[in-house]
Amino acid sequence: MIFQVQIKVMPLKDLLDPQGKAVLGGLHNLGMTGVQDVRVGKHITLQIDADNEAAAREMAEKASKQLLANAVMEYFEIEFVKA
């Protein structure tokens, strides 16, 4: 079965996010002063061929831990999309 998995990788809440700060400055320069905070991370969609959802989730977690997210600076969330 094919599963569509979405992984969100974001900088940890306690850490500075220079890219987000730069985007915030850019938005303020464009006049959008209502924006108070910006954080920028990665969004990754995986298409996984697995026997069941549990196996697909396990593979997505393994992929996140081993390659996609750096646990020192980032956290990740996994979400399944109906295929």
Q: Which residues bind its own copies (CB under 8 A)?
A: 2, 8-10, 20, 23, 26-27, 30, 32, 34-50, 55-56, 59, 62-63, 66-68
Q: Which helix (H) or strand (E) holds 9?
A: strand 2-11
Identity of the residue, 20 or 80, whose beta carbon is nearer to its own copies in the bound complex: 20
We find the least distance from the C-beta atom of residue 30 to its own copies, in angstroms, to be 6
How many Å separate Cα 73 from the centre of its chain? 12
Is 23 strand, coil or helix? helix
Identity of the residue, 12 or 20, whose beta carbon is nearer to its own copies in the bound complex: 20
Specify whether the CB–CB gap between 3 and 55 falls below 8 A.
no
